[in-house]
């Protein structure tokens, strides 16, 4: 298991390219199961979750080729409709194959995802959606078995806005008979890209970028190519890395409008931003310090839950006390005790943390527990005095493309040590 050894204190400086969005790739890859032919996905990030999804698709009979961020997926010879536990347990997004397989082949057998590092992450909305589309759903020996001769259009209202359930039901509805209306649909940019891709394939979808999607089913979809959007969470993480080290960096290949909430909060914290069409420069003007800024996560375009841990790390060095509340995942605070090991002063109260800013963080050994928690520890390590060892960074490799190379190019001192202790 690899670890990072970080010598903190270097202000980050320079330019950095944002990679393609992990969570968009994880939605558009299974969408190719809806057609038969070769699909080319440009700007695909080289992260482990993408490799896991590729292996799962290979297992279903999809042929793949992946180099230079171009992923080719040929869906002409699907030989299986089963997503085994070995794949699904590694990555919950595997459940995205349910809708496309069921809709195209009338059958899907997908392992139930099980627990998650930071608490419950149910998939009831995915299953209720499939049932309303006419599927028979059975749970057997840890598997969801979904069957339907032909899905049919329906009205689905989600009580909770869910990225995954919206994506799954949207994909399934494209090949259903008749019209499906999804209300309280997720409006995250990853869902909009998925809908745009499905439309390119020949799907009939109205209401993009709104919380009501209307899908008129078609008989078949054709293979198509798509270019992924930039990763808004990687972008936000890098901006905080620069701010936390009092550096000055420029993000390139970024979509600023996807991270307006983060940019607004960053400005409140005292940074200077120069935002252009596809780039963002971040810096602190001389003499300015990190101001405490409260944050509450919410669905898009709110402040993303996937930036909560990184913001918490940032606020550890603010001049005063702040409060960060997660309204999406009420238990997503595994990073808090680890940040406290680095000298932070954070107290957890239900789904909030109260962060009393400290003058400095001090290097120590800390443990990654999930993807964004790991990112927050790397940020803290970059700003801390002395050496920080971040153990179990395989979590980070799931979703950040060669993050240490990007950070080293910006002047960070960070080394990957292979085969390290637990």
Shortest distance in whole angstroms from residue 218 CB to ligand EPU: 25
Report if residue 160 touches ligand EPU, rule: CB under 6 A.
yes
In contact, 139 and 112? CB cutoff 8 Å: yes
How far is residue 134's CA from residue 148's CA, in Å, rounded to a whole number? 6
CA 123 → CA 24, 98, 146, 165, 237, distances in Å?
19, 11, 14, 7, 28
Q: Quick check: helix, strand or coil at residue 281?
A: strand
Report if residue 372 touches ligand EPU, rule: CB under 6 A.
yes
Shortest distance in whole angstroms from residue 118 CB to ligand EPU: 9
DSSP state at residue 253: S
Cross-strand bridge partners of residue 205: 215
Residue (74 or 168) nearer to ligand EPU, CB: 168
The 115-144 site mask, x for binding ligand EPU (CB under 6 A), equals ------xxxxxx------------------
Cβ burial, residue 219 (10 Å; 0-12/13-18/19+): exposed
Our CA angle for 176, 179, 182, nearest 5°, is 95
Report if residue 379 touches ligand EPU, rule: CB under 6 A.
no
Q: Which residue is nearest to ligand EPU (CB)?
A: 164
Annotation marks residue 116 as catalytic:
yes
What is the number of alpha carbons within 13 Å of residue 63 lying toward its C-beta?
A: 6
Report if residue 111 touches ligand EPU, rule: CB under 6 A.
no
Report if residue 274 touches ligand EPU, rule: CB under 6 A.
no
Shortest distance in whole angstroms from residue 362 CB to ligand EPU: 27
Instruction: Please pick, from the candidates 16, 18, 25, 26, the single residue that binds ligand EPU as defined by CB under 6 A.
Output: 26
**Count of chain residues binding ligand EPU (CB under 6 A):** 24
Shortest distance in whole angstroms from residue 347 CB to ligand EPU: 23
Residue (123 or 151) nearer to ligand EPU, CB: 123
How far is residue 407's CA from residue 412's CA, in Å, rounded to a whole number? 5
Report if residue 93 touches ligand EPU, rule: CB under 6 A.
yes
Report if residue 295 touches ligand EPU, rule: CB under 6 A.
no
Q: Are strands 63-67 and 248-252 parallel, antiparallel or unpaired?
A: unpaired
Report if residue 172 touches ligand EPU, rule: CB under 6 A.
no
| Cβ-based neighbours of 22, under 8 Å, separated by 6 or more | 45, 47, 49, 50, 231, 233, 234, 398, 399
* Contacts (CB under 6 A) with ligand EPU, residues 214-253: none
Shortest distance in whole angstroms from residue 299 CB to ligand EPU: 7
Report if residue 87 touches ligand EPU, rule: CB under 6 A.
no
Torsion 60-63-66-70 (CA) sign: negative
The 174-213 site mask, x for binding ligand EPU (CB under 6 A), equals ------------x---x-----------------------
Catalytic residue among 116, 181, 364, 417: 116
Side-by-side strand order, sheet with 179-183: 155-157, 179-183, 212-216, 204-206
Report if residue 23 touches ligand EPU, rule: CB under 6 A.
yes
| Cβ-based neighbours of 202, under 8 Å, separated by 6 or more | 218, 220, 221, 222
The residues of the shown chain that bind ligand EPU, judged by CB under 6 A, are: 23, 26, 92-93, 121-126, 160, 162-165, 186, 190, 305-306, 328-329, 371-372, 399
Show which residues are catalytic.
116
């Amino acid at each position: 298991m690899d670890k990072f050894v970080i010598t903190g204190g270097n202000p980050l400086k320079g330019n950095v390219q944002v990679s393609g969005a992990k969570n968009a790739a994880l939605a558009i890859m299974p969408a190719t199961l809806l057609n038969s032919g070769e699909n080319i996905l440009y700007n695909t990030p080289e992260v482990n979750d993408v490799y896991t999804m590729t292996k799962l698709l290979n297992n279903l009979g999809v042929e793949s080729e992946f180099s230079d961020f171009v992923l080719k997926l040929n869906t002409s010879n699907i030989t299986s409709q089963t997503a085994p536990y070995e794949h699904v347990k590694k990555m919950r997004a595997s459940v995205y194959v349910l809708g496309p397989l069921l809709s195209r082949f009338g059958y899907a057998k997908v392992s139930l995802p099980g627990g998650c590092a930071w608490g419950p992450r149910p998939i009831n909305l995915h299953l209720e959606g499939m049932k309303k589309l006419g599927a028979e759903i059975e749970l057997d020996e840890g598997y969801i078995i979904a069957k339907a001769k032909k899905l049919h259009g329906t009205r689905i209202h989600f009580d909770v806005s869910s990225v995954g359930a919206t994506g799954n039901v949207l994909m399934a509805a494209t090949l259903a008979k008749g019209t499906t209306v999804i209300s309280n649909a997720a409006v995250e940019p990853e869902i909009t890209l998925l809908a745009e891709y499905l439309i390119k394939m020949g799907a009939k979808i109205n209401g993009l970028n709104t919380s009501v999607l209307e899908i008129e089913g078609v008989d078949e979809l054709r293979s198509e190519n798509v270019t992924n959007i930039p990763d808004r969470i990687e972008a936000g993480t890098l901006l905080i890395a620069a701010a936390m080290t009092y550096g000055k960096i420029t993000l390139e290949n970024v979509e600023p409008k996807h991270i307006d909430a983060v940019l607004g909060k960053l400005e409140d914290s005292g940074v200077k931003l120069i935002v252009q069409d596809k780039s963002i420069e971040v810096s602190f003007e001389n003499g300015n310090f990190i101001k405490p800024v409260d944050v509450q996560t919410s669905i898009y375009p709110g402040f993303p839950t996937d930036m909560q841990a990184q913001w918490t790390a940032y606020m550890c060095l603010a001049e005063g006390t702040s409060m960060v509340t997660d309204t999406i995942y009420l238990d997503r605070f595994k990073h808090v005790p680890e940040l406290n090991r680095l000298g932070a002063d954070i107290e957890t109260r239900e789904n909030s943390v109260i962060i009393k800013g400290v003058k400095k963080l001090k290097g120590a050994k800390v443990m990654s527990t999930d993807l964004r928690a790991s990112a927050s520890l790397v940020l803290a390590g970059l700003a801390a005095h002395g050496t920080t060892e971040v153990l179990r960074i395989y979590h980070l490799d799931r979703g950040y493309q060669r993050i240490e190379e990007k950070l080293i190019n910006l002047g960070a001192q960070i080394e990957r040590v292979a085969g390290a202790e637990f």
